[in-house]
Amino acid sequence: MNNNPLTAPSKRIRNCCNGYDKVLHGSLLALEIGLSKIRQECQHFNQWLLRLENIIPS
């Protein structure tokens, strides 16, 4: 989502929201938003998941 580790979304959130924990809050946000919406909005993430899905036998 961002090519600069100093300006990644989690770093920007952490700068404005004291107590932000990427692992905890990121997981909770992902559950709230839902995987299908995240895949729809972030094609890079969707493509990564598609690659994973294609290497795992059904």
At residue 47, the pLDDT reads: 96
Whether 33 is in a domain gets the answer yes
Taking the C-alpha atoms of residue 2 and residue 9, their distance in angstroms, rounded to an integer, is 7
Query: What is the pLDDT, as a whole number, of residue 2?
Result: 66
- Tell me which residue has tokens 């809050």: 25
> 0.75 cut: is pTM over it?
no
* pLDDT of amino acid 1: 58
Q: Assess if residue 2 is contained within a domain.
A: no
**How many domains does the chain divide into?**
1
The boundaries of the domain holding residue 27 are: 9-55
- Joined together, the tokens standing for residue 45 give 């993430």
pLDDT, one tens digit per residue, over 1-58 is 567 888 888 888 999 999 999 999 999 999 999 999 999 999 999 999 999 999 977 6
Query: In the prediction, which pLDDT does 22 show?
Result: 92
Name the phi and psi angles at 23, rounded to 5: -65, -50
In a domain, 4, yes or no: no
